[in-house]
Structure 1
Amino acid sequence: MTDTDAVAGLAAELVRIDSRSSLSNIPVADRLEAELAGFAIERLDYTDARGVQKRVLVAHRGGPGGLALSGHMDTVPDTGWTDDPWSGRIADGVLHGLGSVDMKGPVAAAIIAARGLPADVPVTLLLTTDEETTKEGARAIVTRSVLAREAKLAGIIVVEPTGLIPIRGHRSSINFVAVAEGVQAHSSMGVGRNANWALIPFLAEMKPIHEMLRDDPAWHDAGYDPVFSDFNIVIENHGAAVNVTVPLATARIKFRYSRGIDPTAIVEAVRAAAARTGVTLTEAREGTPPDLPAAHPLIQAAVKATGHDATTVPFGTDASELSALAPCVILGPGTTATAHTPREEVVLAELGAAVPLFRQMLTTGV
């Protein structure tokens, strides 16, 4: 069996297991652990904010000082899918299904690459969950993993899909949740209070922040494309009907910023707007945006192995948390072109090509 065949089989099996972030990922964790005979395994279990059981895996073989491969087991929701998101269908050399490229295919390539190394080559696997939501799985590794600390990692390869082009830096996010409360009633009766009217003044103050980030060069980072920070708002009425005064209105804001941008003024502006308009505000921060210099040994090793110069990307990965454990490069097979869409897919040959590349980097180190 070729590496591509092995990766295809495992990736298809993983896609067939529903592991949206709202669900437990333990079935996927169990399936991956079954592939890691001969590795020391550390299970890091936790319960997420909704009471759902989650599991992170750290696996290690060989001595200390090597590199780790890292990927996440969870997926985004199945929004917009019209065929089976978990079919794991393979047609014309392409694997289809939710999570196929982001990132069960790359995780399968990492597993096959690590498993096929000589036993004396140090290798660690950091298999997380909740990457698509809170990064809680990666934080569990940083704060709780004994095995990862004992590995004394020289670096971490986060195998998110990059077309096998090394990524040396990306943005991290601060996530705001603004909540306005009303009183639910039949909207025709004049006795309720619609929470949207309380939320709108806050939203009005968010628009100039969004425009400033896009239009003011002082807030741009020329090392990224696009140069401006993301400030994206999603508004929820939690299922309220149009003939009901909305009892709860929620605005969720994802503010993504790079290492070169100081987020302090934006955070203070959002907080001040919430205080002025009377909405309840909570915030959750990811770790510091990872941004290694091009001359860093890990980046240079990735450039040498791939033949591609390192670049930056505007989105985020677990590297925002895992960088507290060891330097990170983001490097994996597939493209984000169909990720987070109802037509997600990955070319199996690209997954197969990642296996020898990962083995080369794990063997040569930094």
Structure 2
Amino acid sequence: MVLDHIDANRLIRLAQDMVRIPSDNPPGNEREVAEFLAQYLGRAGLDVELREVAPGRPNVVARWGRVGSRPHLILNGHIDALPPGNGWTRDPYGGEIVNGRLYGRGSTDMKGPVASLIAAVEAVKQSGVKPRGSVTLTAVMDEEGRQEGTRRLVQEGVVGDFAIVAEPTEFLPVAAHKGDMYIEVVAHGREAHASTPQEGVNAIDHMADIIVELRGLADRLRERSHPLVGHPTLTVGTIDGGMLTPMVPGRCRITIDRRVLPNEIADEAVQQVREAVDRVRHRRPDVRADVRMEAFAPPMEINVKSPLVAVLRETTAQILGRDPGVHGWAATCDANLLVNEGKTPTLVFGPGSIAEQAHKPDESVSIDELTTAAKIYALTILRLVG
């Protein structure tokens, strides 16, 4: 049986080794961990390529089965991780195991889940199954940045009949996720000496009124809803204004994180912010402010009746003893590129919790969950392409 070929100790050692290789993004230094994985996968008997996307920043692409044979399943995970930041009580690159949990930056998001994908492919291959289809395992760069790794793969033609992105979803199959838009608002005033503020125009004062108006917009957005991902959100994430305390500030800038539903139109989300600024300007004609979209990672959604959904629910129930159902995600990941540009039905599914562990000090993942994930992935591979 394929599950007999899952080597839990080997899986955990692989996850530890990956955590111990820094691949912080920014600045983006995935080469060492990519080369490590390429060598590992080559020794496992897979056909492996390193495909450089930017200098020193390659994707890893490994294949099992005859190229071009279908069904074609893509297994996707990223090997970059956010810098550790402050507040850690353990070495973020130590790969320690304490009380059944692997600690370190990227342990949950998502070097641990990538190790589970690899262990699953190894197990299916070692079981002697002759695939009727094919599997492409992709360990990509820059998911935490501009998603250039998976974007490049899709542009190169890495598309399939099904895909699984192994982000930490607490073993809940995610068939839709929100998009993430960054919007910049800059208020323009006129500088003056703070002892004569009437001679200037205070850009921070104007921005304060804009922020209050945006708070009202955020409240109204809660009236919208999507059956899987809930309501859209708007959060003012940064603010910067003024040069010195004794000066009337002539400029103030904020950036907004706007989470977009699968059925929303991106341009309308930007227009809502412009209209909020216009309402302030109507009350205060001296307000001058510019609004622009800085970046946008689109939402994604697939048909919940896809065969992929049915199979993953069944294999998860086989291992966990319960039907996990179908869910949505407030976060954003590379599944949007596979679905929207690659036209590949994709589920996000993996061990660990993005809410509880990802992007935090002392990030960790249960080693039992990594093994459980490998079992579910292995059974899913068998059902889809075996």
What's the TM-score once normalised by structure 2's chain length? Answer: 0.80
How far apart in 1 are the matches of 2:108 and 2:232?
25
Alpha carbons of structure 1 residues 293 and 183: separation in structure 2 relative to 1, 3 Å: same
How far apart in 2 are the matches of 1:314 and 1:125?
25
How far apart in 2 are the matches of 1:223 and 1:357?
23
Alpha carbons of structure 1 residues 274 and 305: separation in structure 2 relative to 1, 3 Å: same
Which amino acid counterpart does residue 352 of structure 2 have in structure 1? G
1:189 offset after TM fit, Å? 9.6
1:137 aligns with 2:149: yes
Partners of 2:231 and 2:261 within 8 A in 1: no
Aligned equivalent of 1:213: 221
1:322 aligns with 2:335: no
Which amino acid counterpart does residue 75 of structure 2 have in structure 1? L
Aligned equivalent of 1:266: 269
1:293 offset after TM fit, Å? 2.6
Aligned equivalent of 2:284: none
Which amino acid counterpart does residue 336 of structure 2 have in structure 1? S
Partners of 2:181 and 2:293 within 8 A in 1: no
Alpha carbons of structure 1 residues 140 and 196: separation in structure 2 relative to 1, 3 Å: farther
Partners of 1:40 and 1:61 within 8 A in 2: no
2:361 pairs, out of 336, 342, 353, with 342
1:346 offset after TM fit, Å? 0.5
2:38 pairs, out of 33, 38, 51, with 33
Alpha carbons of structure 1 residues 305 and 247: separation in structure 2 relative to 1, 3 Å: farther
Structure 2 counterparts to residues 224-243 of structure 1, below 5 A: 224=229, 227-237=230-240
* Residues 231-268 of structure 1: CA deviation (Å, up to 9, x unaligned): 12211439977667768643222211222344543321
Structure 2 counterparts to residues 1-366 of structure 1, below 5 A: 3-24=7-28, 25-37=30-42, 38-46=46-54, 53-63=56-66, 64=68, 65=70, 66-83=72-89, 84-118=91-125, 120-121=130-131, 122-143=134-155, 145-146=156-157, 148-149=158-159, 153-180=160-187, 196-197=204-205, 199-214=207-222, 216=223, 219-224=224-229, 227-237=230-240, 249-273=252-276, 277-279=288-290, 281-287=292-298, 289-307=299-317, 308=323, 309-323=325-339, 324-325=341-342, 326-336=344-354, 337-365=356-384
Q: Percent of counterpart pairs with the same letter?
A: 28
What's the TM-score once normalised by structure 1's chain length? Answer: 0.84
1:172 offset after TM fit, Å? 1.4
- SS of the residue 1:36 aligns to: helix
How far apart in 2 are the matches of 1:239 and 1:8?
50
Alpha carbons of structure 1 residues 200 and 165: separation in structure 2 relative to 1, 3 Å: same
Partners of 2:76 and 2:164 within 8 A in 1: yes
1:183 offset after TM fit, Å? 8.5
Q: 75-84 or 235-244, which moves further after superposition?
A: 235-244
Which amino acid counterpart does residue 6 of structure 1 have in structure 2? R
- SS of the residue 1:35 aligns to: helix
Unaligned runs of 5+ in 2: 282-287, 318-322
1:274 offset after TM fit, Å? 5.9
Alpha carbons of structure 1 residues 202 and 330: separation in structure 2 relative to 1, 3 Å: same
The count of corresponding residues between Structure 1 and Structure 2 is 350
Unaligned runs of 5+ in 1: 48-52
Q: 199-208 or 345-354, which moves further after superposition?
A: 199-208
1:194 offset after TM fit, Å? 6.7
* Residues 100-157 of structure 1: CA deviation (Å, up to 9, x unaligned): 11111001111222234328532111222332232222222222x24x25xxx21111
- SS of the residue 1:27 aligns to: helix
Partners of 2:189 and 2:200 within 8 A in 1: yes
Which amino acid counterpart does residue 54 of structure 1 have in structure 2? R
Alpha carbons of structure 1 residues 155 and 241: separation in structure 2 relative to 1, 3 Å: farther
Alpha carbons of structure 1 residues 256 and 282: separation in structure 2 relative to 1, 3 Å: closer
RMSD of aligned alpha carbons: 3.0
The structure that has the greater radius of gyration is 2
